[in-house]
Structure 1
Amino acid sequence: MIKRNILIASAFFSFSLGIAQQYGGMWIPTELNEKEMKDLGMKISAKDIFNTQKPSIKDAVVQFNGGCTAEIISPKGLLLTNHHCGYGQIQSHSTVQNDLLSNGFWAKNMSSELPNPGVTVDFIVDIKEVTPQILQGTENLQEPELSKKIAANIETYKKTQKIEDYQSISVKSMYYGNKFYAYVIETYKDVRLVGAPPQSIGKFGSDTDNWVWPRHTGDFSMFRIYADKNNKPAEYSKDNIPYVPKHYLPVSIKDKNENDFTFVFGFPGRTTEYLPAIAVEKIMTEIDPARIAVRDVALKTLDEKMRTDDATRIQYASKYASVANYWKKWIGEVEGLKKSNAVQKKKNYENSLAAKNPAIKTTIDQINKLYADQAPFALNNAYYSEVVRNAETLMLANIFSGFIASAEAGKLDEKGIASFKKRLASFYKDYNAELDAKVTAKLLALYANKTAPQFLPAGFAELKDENQNIINFEKLSKNSVITGRSNVNGASLSENIDKAFSNQENLIKSIKKDPVYELFMNMRNTYMKSADPQFTSLQTQIDALQKKYMAQQMETDKDRKFFPDANSTLRVTYGQVKGSSPRDAVTYDYQTHLAGVMEKYVPGDYEFDVPQKLIDLYNKKDYGIYKDKTGDVPVGFTATNHTTGGNSGSPALDAKGNLIGLNFDRQWEGTMSDINYDPRFSRNIMVDTKYILFIIDKFANSKWLIDEMKIVK
């Protein structure tokens, strides 16, 4: 009976995998699952998507500023991405007197577009598999020699390739080191802000609606790529001209229907679809809950201040959104892993593989033991990493520890010091030492209470009282050089970095005696001694076995078509426009409308207020060509595309390659798709091109931008 149940479970898992493969997967664009895409309704060919011999859709898709995705939508280099992807740039141009976050920004012509120093976009020129070259001579090597040889082979490969001066090559590992691919990249460095709706549209629903469907967020912003007179990459110059792309995306305002084919083209960040059951179990029951607990404390403390002080709200807006994003994602991930029975499905799959290949059982047994041995160290790693990341004062101390180490090793030249000072200036610009003293005090109390005694620094048991910590840490912060509240060399670091650095030797001595720095270094040194070496050593062994297990899966499961986990490289995912039924008696449509925005509207609310002009347009039903068959303006829609972080801003395209939406989120019930894609729950969320154009045209009166585009009616 037990054996029969296992077989039934295995059969069910194989069936669900078949469904997941039909819709899931993040495919390298040179290795598309073209037949399946066409079976689902695609009308173009794989060569139309990625082609190095003539213009193709890949020439309109870029990685935006190293993280998000963006796409070109006009012959003049007009770029579309998410509002939250451009949020940092919108914020940098904002002041209390000229609050572009609240008011929005729309250039009236090209000369009024705003430069963004340091912002880049990357085009992928070519992709080649280079596994034989990179793994040459590694057959009998183990770590760390294996990594050294691979790194050397990568450098050798790069040196043999002929590229232009403005191009670079990146070699990426796939399938846990079983394959390698080389990417030729062109980077453009003059990217200007063209337009952004007010955050009451671009961030409508804010944290309450984040990762949630139904969604009514106009999550888009617009930039433009500029180039030199030869259309080549160049640093910012007033003499640069709009970039002329090889290809730009036509923008469709056709109505959408359920089961329409769609695909998303972008740079998904990181997935781990091929982990063993024990790894998923640890994430679900230990690692994610630890991360969530730390961010809970940080977010609540920041929110209290941001709601009562506009200057703090603007100063911390981007940082708060960044912290909140994955906090909520992890909450949904835990629930989704439980709901989709991910751990048991993984175990069933492992059993089915082992029945075909007994060597896999040996690998799994070894992996299980390593994860069990690593568990206490991994949990401490999760708490320590999140506390240092979310307590800005500790993060600052960590930055200074790196600076001091480099200075004492004689590795800092004038250029390095200038770069470090620039980094500090950027940090202090959006740093409130008094507010973060409270955040840090609370997080230290959490760390003291949640960390096993063998991992705690001496004296940290005294930090378990949160209220007493707030009093004590405020005193430390006031007397701290690194927080900028105490002077060194006659100046505050937060107000006059150059003067504070006028005597570098004295500065370093002062930092070493700084009470906040001493506290952090005590915490860091204890972690580095009691947890990090053990965690890292075990992880190295786990990674080696994961590589072996990945190879065994691909060798054994001949019925499964494999795709590599996401790693911020260019990918295609595809599926169908579709609603969902994530819970008992709950069914969601695939489309939301402007009427839904007005249903959620709460005057003056932090998350659900809307501009008066949008209300007027709604009341007058002044929708122009942007309404759909219902007579309303569509705002968002969902589909079964398999997306993750980094796909933010990715173009959602129809069967003919026209732009129909802008990817910006996933449905909360399916955020576990980074680990366990389940077609029943996994939905990506996109803002509809009709809503984007409606806002540009009717709300912003920026028809000059519409006139640049090719509109498909």
Structure 2
Amino acid sequence: MKKIILFLAMCLVAFPVRADEGMWFLMFIERLNHRDMEKMGLQLTTEEIYSINNHSLKDAIVQFNGGCTAEIISKEGLVLTNHHCGYNAIAELSTAEQNYLKDGFWAKEKSAEMKPKSLYVRFFVRMDDVSKRILSKVNDKMTETERNKAIQQEMALIEKENNEGGKYTVSVRPFFQGNEYYYFVYQDYKDVRLVGTPPESLGKFGGDTDNWEWPRHTADFSMFRVYADKDGNPAEYSKANVPLQPKHYLPVSMKGVKENDFAMILGYPGRTNRWMPAGGIDQNVKFAYPAWVEGAKTGMDQMKKYMDKDATVNLQYASKYASTANYWKNRQGMIDALTKAGTAKAKFVEEAKFNKWAKKCKNKAQYGNILATINNYYEQTNLKARHDNYLMQLMRTSSYGTTPASLGNALIAYSKENEAKRMEILPKINSLIEGVYGDFYAPLEKDVLAAQLNLYSSKAGEYGLAPLVEKMKLANNGDFTADVNDAVSKSIFANKQSVEVFMKNPNVEAIANDPLYLISTDLMTKIRAKSDELAKLDDDYATAYRDLVQGLRVSKLNSVKYPDANSTLRLTYGKVRALPADDRNDATVNNYTTMEGLVKKYKAGDQEFDLPARMLELNKAKDFGEYADKNGYMPVNFLTDNDITGGNSGSPVINGKGELIGLAFDGNIEAMAGDVIFDSKLQRTINVDIRYILWIIDKYAGAKNIIDEMVIVK
């Protein structure tokens, strides 16, 4: 036993853990992180953070609608997340007459809480390591296809063994590029209702201009509630459902923060690429991301023309526009940050050392040709990466780019059925139609498609365009406006009404010859096409990348000791930490912002920097109540050096006692390379101070009923 303890101690010395870097599995924090966390100010035991048998912090953390994080903050299932995470649900519940995005919403009683059509939260139950079990099913003689098939079969068995007859959702995920596997058990609750949201002028204050920037002054929060049946089990929406009594909820601290205070964040970071080869970084910076940025901006410009003219259209496309704009700025920031940091160059230096190690006799057979294979893959796929990103932005911003193919194929299948079968599947078809055309404005969609086809045909041709698009370009000299106008005027898929007319007399040939269906199918076929040569490149790359990661871990040439993020629950810890002094921030220390700074940014009538009259009145009167800092100012946002990424939006910032002190919502653009390489000097997490959230709920909105159900620590 002493030898084992000595070995573990030596491992911890050999692999030092940085306090601010890393997205860690909760099941390993006792061994890898707890001692460091205690030194920094953690007062909780590991059992209080992660326990299978007893309630713990992990029971208060939920994945919000599959893409963000949220936390439970009351014994009645009250959920706190970001405004931008709840954005789509808030827009869905809004109308031009009752615009909750614009004006805000606060339920004064539970009966006023509103249920969006589709919204769920996912609770994490437990996880376990199944690496040995899964990897015992594969061998080096298998092709990638054979390997993947064997792994998928074993995954399916593990998921079935642990879902308890469908009670739980079980997901087996690969880590370290397929060198390790873990399964995760979740429980989903689908009755989630809107409780409160500040107006967009507060929740999205600063808009695209301030996005990814510091200093920041944004009330990026919204509130929901989880409902369950009378026994506390997940249930579809029903008036008979009751607020969930959670296993654990977070107490809320009003003590405030200061430099070097301990801060940890639990959440569901979406994706990082800390193990990405240098060639992949180069491909993104020079080929993929520039196309993404240009394609996103093209779609945004067309959407904005119509959104600014019509309040209903603005609501319909608010969420799509916001998401597109967010990634547009993110990808440009990634280009700038990765270029400035010389990240690819640093990776090439690391890989040169690895290649030297790999060429040694004992390593050569397994690792000797890895980098040659990887670099060849990127050289052969650079133009494809550019092409695919132009085409993907067309599909993401234009419903006409994807809907005719996907809906059209469903309608073809429907048309071929007999009357009895049609009646059976009609509800699904109608649901699909409603989903497509629920938020749809044909003039906007038409202009987006034309603009995107113009861009795609002019910029992606070096790889080879979709065949029909290529043919049309030769005839129209690269201007698709007239072609798109003509196609829409003749198409079944032009709008919901034309689809409904088709449904009265379904005909396969009508769809097969539909001009929008032909264009959409052409684009979808092109993006999915994979030649035998490309398939082999992909397989060789997958094998080489997996071996590269394993080799870097074995050789100890890479200091990263945690797996890339992949939307599984992680913990990151660090401290409240300032950036260098900035004249744009009125704060004494550049780790927080104040309401005074917020009001200085105010521009009456400006779409990004307007403020409600009540906010200005309360600030003028200095009516901050008990939520003001002890030094007299009203805090708004603050900085920590936690290691987060997309998906952590809405994550709780927690102090050493397990109390909620803030809500993570953004990062700083200077460290935009953070998904690939962590910069301990620059990387910051931008958080809403919980005191500002409480002030808005209480003083601004007058929703004291919401405050009263929280446990407030003063």
Query: SS where residue 63 of structure 1 aligns?
Result: strand
2:115 paired residue number: 115
CA distance in 2, matches of 1:559, 1:323: 34
Counterpart amino acid of residue 262 in structure 2? F
Q: Which residue of the other structure, out of 477, 488, 508, is the alignment partner of 2:488?
A: 477
Measured after TM superposition, the shift of residue 314 of structure 1 is: 1.6
Counterpart amino acid of residue 312 in structure 2? A
Instruction: Tell me if 1:386 matches 2:368.
Output: no
Q: 1:465 to 1:613 in 2, by over 3 A?
A: farther
Counterpart amino acid of residue 552 in structure 2? Q
2:336 paired residue number: 335
Cα shift readout 1:656-680 (whole Å, capped 9, x = no counterpart): 2111111111111212211122112
Measured after TM superposition, the shift of residue 536 of structure 1 is: 4.7
2:679 paired residue number: 678
Counterpart amino acid of residue 410 in structure 2? F
1:556 paired residue number: 555
Cα shift readout 1:431-452 (whole Å, capped 9, x = no counterpart): 1111121111111111111122
Aligned residues: 684
Instruction: Tell me if 1:572 matches 2:583.
Output: no
Instruction: Tell me if 1:130 matches 2:130.
Output: yes
1:619 paired residue number: 620
Map 1:450-599 onto structure 2 (within 5 A): 450-452=459-461, 455-456=464-465, 457=467, 458-462=470-474, 468-484=479-495, 491-493=497-499, 497=500, 500-504=502-506, 506=507, 508-526=508-526, 528-529=528-529, 534-557=533-556, 560=559, 562-581=561-580, 589-599=590-600
How much identity, in percent, do the aligned residues show?
Answer: 36
Measured after TM superposition, the shift of residue 426 of structure 1 is: 2.3
1:68 paired residue number: 68
Q: Is the 8 A contact 2:401 2:523 kept in 1?
A: no
CA distance in 1, matches of 2:613, 2:535: 55
CA distance in 2, matches of 1:644, 1:443: 29
Cα shift readout 1:341-364 (whole Å, capped 9, x = no counterpart): 211111222233344443455311
CA distance in 2, matches of 1:546, 1:650: 31
Q: Give ranges in structure 1 of 5+ residues lacking alignment.
A: 1-16, 486-490
1:365 paired residue number: 372
Q: 1:585 to 1:245 in 2, by over 3 A?
A: closer
CA distance in 2, matches of 1:533, 1:618: 65
Measured after TM superposition, the shift of residue 480 of structure 1 is: 1.7
CA distance in 1, matches of 2:324, 2:539: 28
CA distance in 1, matches of 2:241, 2:531: 49
Cα shift readout 1:212-267 (whole Å, capped 9, x = no counterpart): 11111101110111111111111111111111111100111112111211111011
CA distance in 1, matches of 2:219, 2:197: 10
Cα shift readout 1:666-698 (whole Å, capped 9, x = no counterpart): 111212211122112211111110110000000
Map 1:55-454 onto structure 2 (within 5 A): 55-140=55-140, 141-161=142-162, 163=164, 165-358=166-359, 359=364, 360=367, 362-403=369-410, 417-452=426-461
After TM superposition, the score normalised by the length of structure 1 is 0.91
Cα shift readout 1:23-67 (whole Å, capped 9, x = no counterpart): 121111111222232233322222211111211000000011111
Measured after TM superposition, the shift of residue 79 of structure 1 is: 0.5
Q: Is the 8 A contact 1:641 1:684 kept in 2?
A: yes
Query: SS where residue 144 of structure 1 aligns?
Result: helix
Counterpart amino acid of residue 504 in structure 2? S
Q: 1:339 to 1:580 in 2, by over 3 A?
A: farther
Q: 1:173 to 1:18 in 2, by over 3 A?
A: closer
Counterpart amino acid of residue 443 in structure 1? Q
Measured after TM superposition, the shift of residue 614 of structure 1 is: 0.6
Query: SS where residue 663 of structure 1 aligns?
Result: strand
CA distance in 2, matches of 1:339, 1:211: 17
Measured after TM superposition, the shift of residue 406 of structure 1 is: 5.3
CA distance in 2, matches of 1:582, 1:294: 36
1:7 paired residue number: none
Q: 1:708 to 1:109 in 2, by over 3 A?
A: same
CA distance in 2, matches of 1:390, 1:219: 24
Q: Is the 8 A contact 1:190 1:226 kept in 2?
A: yes
Query: SS where residue 193 of structure 1 aligns?
Result: strand
Q: Is the 8 A contact 2:62 2:124 kept in 1?
A: yes
1:6 paired residue number: none
Q: Give ranges in structure 2 of 5+ residues lacking alignment.
A: 1-13
Q: 1:417 to 1:144 in 2, by over 3 A?
A: farther
Q: 1:534 to 1:216 in 2, by over 3 A?
A: farther
Deviates further, 184-193 or 162-171: 162-171
Counterpart amino acid of residue 501 in structure 1? M
After TM superposition, the score normalised by the length of structure 2 is 0.91
Measured after TM superposition, the shift of residue 332 of structure 1 is: 0.6
Q: 1:222 to 1:255 in 2, by over 3 A?
A: same
Q: Is the 8 A contact 2:215 2:584 kept in 1?
A: no
Counterpart amino acid of residue 432 in structure 2? R
1:3 paired residue number: none
Q: 1:540 to 1:410 in 2, by over 3 A?
A: farther
